[in-house]
Amino acid sequence: MSEDLLRQVAADLNFASDAASRVPRMAALMADNNRRIADVPLPFDSTPYAMPLWLAAADKR
């Protein structure tokens, strides 16, 4: 994402104008993290609840 867009998200969507002014400090890290995750093919039948479900099944105490 461009720095301008990040500034806009910070200022307009999260109402955090101070954070918008600090966007250049965060931009490189965010771009890297975004790209790495976006490159992973996520199965269509995925769920954000997979982890608690798997852990519950693994709990043999």
Partner 1 sequence: MTNAVAELDLCALAAAIAAGDVTSVAATTVALERLDTVGSKLNAVVRLDVERALRAAEAADRQRASGAALPPLHGVPLAHKDLFYRAGDLSAGGSKIRAGFRPDVTATVVQRLDASGALDLGRLQLAEFAMSPTGYNEHNGHALNPWNPAYVPGGSSSGSAVAVAARLVAGSLGTDTGGSLRHPGAMCGLVGLKPTWGLVPTDGVMPLSASLDCVGPLTRTARDSARLLSMIAGHDYETPLKGDIRGMAIAVPGGYYRELLDPGIAVRLEQAVVVLRKLGVTTIETAPPDMALINALMQVLMSAEAATIHRRWLIERPQDYADQVRARLEPGLLYPATRYVEALSLRAALTQGWIAACIGSADLALLPAISLHVPTVAATTEGDPADVAAFIGKLTHCTRGINYLGLPAASVPCGFDAASMPVAFQLVGRPFAEAAILRVADAYQSATEWHLHAPVAAELNQTKREPCPSSICIPMRSASA
Residue 56, phi-psi category: left (phi > 0), alpha (psi -120 to 50), beta (remainder) = alpha
Q: Does 12 bind partner 1 (CB under 8 A)?
A: no
Residue 42 is classified by DSSP as: P
Assess 18 for contact with partner 1 (CB under 8 A).
yes
- What is the C-alpha to C-alpha distance for residues 15 and 54, in angstroms, rounded to an integer? 37
Does residue 45 sit in helix, strand or coil?
coil
Q: To the nearest whole angstrom, how small is the minimum distance from the Cβ of residue 60 to partner 1? A: 7
Question: Hey, which residues between 23 and 52 contact partner 1 (CB under 8 A)?
Answer: 23, 25-26, 29-30, 32-34, 36-38, 40, 42, 46-52
53 forms part of the interface with partner 1 (CB under 8 A):
yes
